[in-house]
Structure 1
């Protein structure tokens, strides 16, 4: 039986398990966020140094410390001019635009920015800057670095000491390139497996995340009272505060709708241990909590994190995340700063944001005390880390260790992590382990595909543009198998499609998800067969030929693979193992003498679905019914036989409309744009997911979520009697889209602000005239307030030849303050059964 220590923070968990009742917990209603143990990081010397620096800084110099540009947009001259407190490289950028830049090139760039930041000839400041990077699973943006398994795989190891060593190894490789600061660890507790960042979560269980957060922070930063922030140790970041793994429907940057106790006990677990370990920075989350963006949430950022918890480091925003806060845009955001954001990650609009923030401080919109608090926190971390005493990056003691970068010890550590992360789900007929002297066929899309086994956040952001050449020091899974089989005298054939000349003794099929990261990683179905039916066909082909078949499944989350399991004799969940593919061979192959090299150790840190609709399947849930429960994992001593699994789906496939023309379905179709029809009938396109009408006040557009991240748009009319309309249009004539047929413009719409004033939705419009239109208000029959509703408007309405003149496909107008969100806009020949249909008038 599982033994746990339950505290007041465990109350919601106990209630969900039926062991306690909220009705008897009057004394437990006060939410206490305080740490059980405060890190002993305070230093009078550090505080005196910080106050001396702060006392001599101008408003301009203080604000510059709070702005973080990105190297794809930042020049050395701009750093010299403003003296920004930090800068970053995003997932798709490297020094001088060179994706394959070597260690010395990264060091050279670090030197240039460091020297420019301490040059006081223009800005009067000599405070050194800091470089931040997403070292997500190793120093993962850098060509040739060691890539460890993604967090979901590490969660399966149940080995906090291993996680600490990975943190140390990553810190050494980051140090070797001259970078001071790592945007890791991610301490999200993923609760819905549709989330595109699920692989960044160690576990659905907050206890595992809590253990690991402490371990990896101590690995990166060192241990308080011992080697804290000394030598190769870097500044760590606990992210993303808070609730990023709990959004509704697993939509990245979505809304986490839970009470405060659950927010603390489930999603806060990793922060408590990271903060107790002395983590120096916390990154705020894109998501909202019960409808309010965390980046503008003063209660969470200031009252809870800084005041109750006692965090004395700094809070950094995520990439341009400030723009989603009400009243903000890319170039100004007093609301986020006043809520508690200390460093604004502003990749490309940093100059405008800097100047506007200075003006807002001088006008009193942002209190001087808030700026002083933010800069105090930034300087405190810089002084603690010893930035003022360290030389330029290339001359620091830790950067003299070129051998740390992709060190042999790090590769061995990576292989160990792969071995311990593998979870054996099935091993009928004891097919595993395999003799290396056998005739082995290695097949599947992932067999010799390092990009697939590395996943997203590997050399590039999404990881989709990578080839094996982008991983010069890595070993594919096939290469790892080949090395051992050849050495033992066996025979191995690589054949992606499973073809062969001589029937093999056994087939190893490596397949799974293609690389993805945030934004593009969200899914709506757990059915792996929906995105890859070819792998099942390959497995069935081998199975039908009587070839013992071992599946090695690469994925960033548990998926419904009942069909694939049924045609596999053995099935291994390998997650996203990173650069050391040989770790797979170490476990599934015997040695040359027939002995087991390494047994399976991995245990599921995420429950595995029995059905395709089990999106939220978590330990202790009511009606918990997984195929493989949390903690499951066979070993070579296990004698469990997996029978045939149910292959019947419970979710209907999305009907494909053969005659459908998507205009804005998840993304804009080519040639289309959102924009505004201004008072003079001029059409103003909007570049990006947000924008404002030309007068900067009448109508605004902001991205919202329907089923994917930013797949919808929200339009707000801020004043009455405006003649500015929101539009969806394209440059080419629209007449060709209808061809005289009766078609419908179908879309999802939502009233989200309890505004009763109507919004007129027109289709095929020329200036203010439209061929068909409908007045929508919250009281419209069939429209549910706050929900997404399907609307279909007939477009084949001939109205004084407007069809021939129309340049706007969709036009939204309101004569009063109003708000309407819209998504999934497409031309269809037949509306869906759920649609509110508007025929021609």
Structure 2
């Protein structure tokens, strides 16, 4: 008891110290704002790319490796008082030493040669590790982390990413992505945790806590500021294409898209990035209702609101709601934008915003609010006291310990979707034919945002790690593993460009194999380059799968993809299917350990895997999507009929669920609902199981309820024969309410169903 009291006392003392420090920072911020000229304030609201201040032929690209152009840097920081810099599409990974040189050079100008000596805030898309740093630990991408359902590993990965990002002297990451991965057509689905709001909320908060530390102590040199993105509804486009319009009614916006952001703001995240698209006809960067009334006033967000790439400029040149750039700047800043990712031609933004204030079209109050938010982040990061961190202070960078954490995440995320006749695990002595364009590629294991924007530079930096082929050869011996690609990606081509490569040779080689490991999927992509018009996996890969199936040899299909590409044209001919997602540098080793049974798979799908291109319905849908076939009247094949359902994932052992119950049958509003279920490992090997608890509102008065919704999940480990009772607690106000057509939350009395696995229990909620 004394130990607990001492720990609690220390926590309270630390919290009091933090509150006092924040108050002191606020006083310093107000004093600094009073000293600033209008031009200095506007400069703090501008963010430019590294190319602009790097030596190169023009502002749009810098030489490789990047080197600072001191004249350009001084113009930006001294003449225009620019407050923030970020990486660009042209930049590739640098060593920690090189990063220290670059960041130190920038901060020396900012801290010694500018009038007020305000440090620069440098930001990078470190979305699955310190992605722009040579030798950093690359974790599985977020979609795979969603499949792991492991909160602890998600937080640990973010902690390591923060540590290694700071080793490169960078304090700010544009992560996590809290958008719902609802649409498999969308090019950035893999950057999300999946399609479920609760899943995204839970793992998003863990990632923020990992980046920012307990109590959001981002001034600690092992933590960084996080950036929630992309507020709001970015993935919910009508076309499935990046940066295209969405139509989201108020109830859907609040029911599905807002919860993860709300929880992340409550968790103390310091910055937020805005949706590049359009919602209900209004570009989000010009939407006062979303950025000020909802985000800043209703949700109480006190941090920094930053645009995405060139999105203020896009209000004029793409969205056509502003006649001039000046009008676009006025719309965005008045809507609630605090910092503009310009990214190249920063002079028009700065000059136009200064003029707008002088003309009275943007108030000084709005400018001061934006600058206050920028400075708040810089003070929280302790940049005024320590603008750089030194790589020598980070001895664990790229360590085996960190690599093991990345391996563990990959091993727990990889999902076994099918295993007919227990083809898996493989016998180590089996003769294996390995085929497919993803079999011998580190690029496809990692995905984009790895060493460079589109992931095209991965081969330069990841040669020390094992591809799927190399990992198989290491474990099974090169004599037992034959590789004939059959299909390969074109060098330097877009993700959908593949070509035949020894197709007939691959088919002939199958004669000598006991089993075929067929590695299909996608090459790397993100944003607009990842838009596609056909959700089916490519024709060449489909042909390869069909021809290999004709050989009669058992086939293990390994999917290595950022979104579920449709495989229904040949799925039935595959004996086993393993979804590896984008598992990172250690993914090849983790995958092979699963194929050989050294690791028991435990991943669960974080999305619905569609069977057809025109049937991309999420598991969150209305009952009308599940209308049963009327006798002899209609063919209802187009109803909800996925290839694999959300939450699906097999194991090498079996689990039995029993005794699902609640502590009573009827509850009053305000009473907690206690739910328990027993899970037993009825197989012969140890395994991990994810227990999902769903709810279903049987009758709602305002809008049709969803068929079911995920409310809780817990990942447990069970030895053969072991049982465990898993307990959940639900809050009616939080878990059984819904948003009506007016956007207001409703909690109605009535019957609800709670579901775990195939078991159900009904409860009643009274007034």
The question of a shared fold, defined as TM-score above 0.5 by the shorter chain, is answered with yes
Task: Indicate conservation of the 8 Å contact 1:442/1:493, yes or no.
Answer: yes
Instruction: Name the SS for the 2:50 alignment partner.
Output: coil
In structure 2, what is the Cα distance between the partners aligned to 1:428 and 1:437? 20
Match of 2:522 in 1: 513
Match of 1:611 in 2: 612
In structure 2, what is the Cα distance between the partners aligned to 1:64 and 1:252? 30
Match of 2:33 in 1: 54
In structure 2, what is the Cα distance between the partners aligned to 1:40 and 1:560? 52
1:700-779 alignment to 2 at 5 Å? Answer: none
Match of 2:724 in 1: none
1:132 aligns with 2:128: no
Match of 1:458 in 2: 450
1:290 aligns with 2:276: no
Match of 1:650 in 2: none
In structure 1, what is the Cα distance between the partners aligned to 2:526 and 2:136? 19
TM-score, normalization by structure 1: 0.66
Task: Indicate conservation of the 8 Å contact 1:148/1:577, yes or no.
Answer: yes
Q: Deviations over 1:40-66 (max 9, x none)?
A: 798321211111111111111111110
1:194-213 alignment to 2 at 5 Å? Answer: 194-213=185-204
Task: Indicate conservation of the 8 Å contact 1:83/1:118, yes or no.
Answer: no
Q: Deviations over 1:251-293 (max 9, x none)?
A: 2212221222211221112111211111000101111121101
Which runs of structure 1 show a deviation greater than 6 angstroms over 4 or more consecutive aligned residues?
A: 39-42
Task: Indicate conservation of the 8 Å contact 1:154/1:417, yes or no.
Answer: yes
Question: How many residues matched?
Answer: 579
Match of 1:599 in 2: 600
Task: Indicate conservation of the 8 Å contact 2:119/2:387, yes or no.
Answer: no
Task: Indicate conservation of the 8 Å contact 1:435/1:589, yes or no.
Answer: no
Task: Indicate conservation of the 8 Å contact 1:83/1:127, yes or no.
Answer: no
Match of 1:437 in 2: 429
Task: Indicate conservation of the 8 Å contact 1:322/1:328, yes or no.
Answer: no
Task: Indicate conservation of the 8 Å contact 2:182/2:607, yes or no.
Answer: no
Pairwise CA distance, 1:375? 0.5
In structure 2, what is the Cα distance between the partners aligned to 1:184 and 1:76? 27
Residues 469 and 43 of structure 1, relative CA distance in 2, 3 Å threshold: closer
Pairwise CA distance, 1:460? 2.2
Pairwise CA distance, 1:564? 3.1
Match of 1:81 in 2: 79
- Say which one has the larger Rg: 1
Pairwise CA distance, 1:106? 1.4
Pairwise CA distance, 1:629? 1.3
Match of 1:67 in 2: 46
In structure 2, what is the Cα distance between the partners aligned to 1:126 and 1:42? 21
Match of 1:374 in 2: 370
Match of 1:308 in 2: 298
Instruction: Name the SS for the 1:575 alignment partner.
Output: coil
1:546 aligns with 2:531: no
1:784-803 alignment to 2 at 5 Å? Answer: none
Task: Indicate conservation of the 8 Å contact 2:218/2:225, yes or no.
Answer: no
TM-score, normalization by structure 2: 0.72
In structure 2, what is the Cα distance between the partners aligned to 1:475 and 1:83? 46
The one of the two structures with greater contact order (alpha-carbon pairs below 8 A, sep at least 6) is 2
Task: Indicate conservation of the 8 Å contact 1:110/1:393, yes or no.
Answer: no
In structure 2, what is the Cα distance between the partners aligned to 1:257 and 1:589? 43
- Structure 1 gap segments, 5+ residues each: 1-38, 94-98, 591-595, 641-841
Of 627, 643, 658, the residue aligned with 1:627 is: 643
In structure 2, what is the Cα distance between the partners aligned to 1:504 and 1:40? 66
Match of 2:498 in 1: none
Task: Indicate conservation of the 8 Å contact 2:435/2:516, yes or no.
Answer: yes
In structure 2, what is the Cα distance between the partners aligned to 1:328 and 1:117? 35
Pairwise CA distance, 1:447? 0.7
Match of 1:412 in 2: 404
Match of 2:703 in 1: none
Pairwise CA distance, 1:607? 0.8
Match of 2:147 in 1: 156
In structure 1, what is the Cα distance between the partners aligned to 2:448 and 2:104? 29
Task: Indicate conservation of the 8 Å contact 1:223/1:277, yes or no.
Answer: no
In structure 2, what is the Cα distance between the partners aligned to 1:139 and 1:438? 38
1:426 aligns with 2:418: yes
Pairwise CA distance, 1:566? 2.2
Residues 554 and 40 of structure 1, relative CA distance in 2, 3 Å threshold: farther
In structure 2, what is the Cα distance between the partners aligned to 1:213 and 1:328? 38
- Structure 2 gap segments, 5+ residues each: 1-17, 54-71, 316-320, 487-505, 626-639, 657-767
Task: Indicate conservation of the 8 Å contact 2:85/2:123, yes or no.
Answer: yes
Pairwise CA distance, 1:599? 0.9
Pairwise CA distance, 1:443? 1.6
In structure 1, what is the Cα distance between the partners aligned to 2:197 and 2:572? 32
Pairwise CA distance, 1:117? 1.0
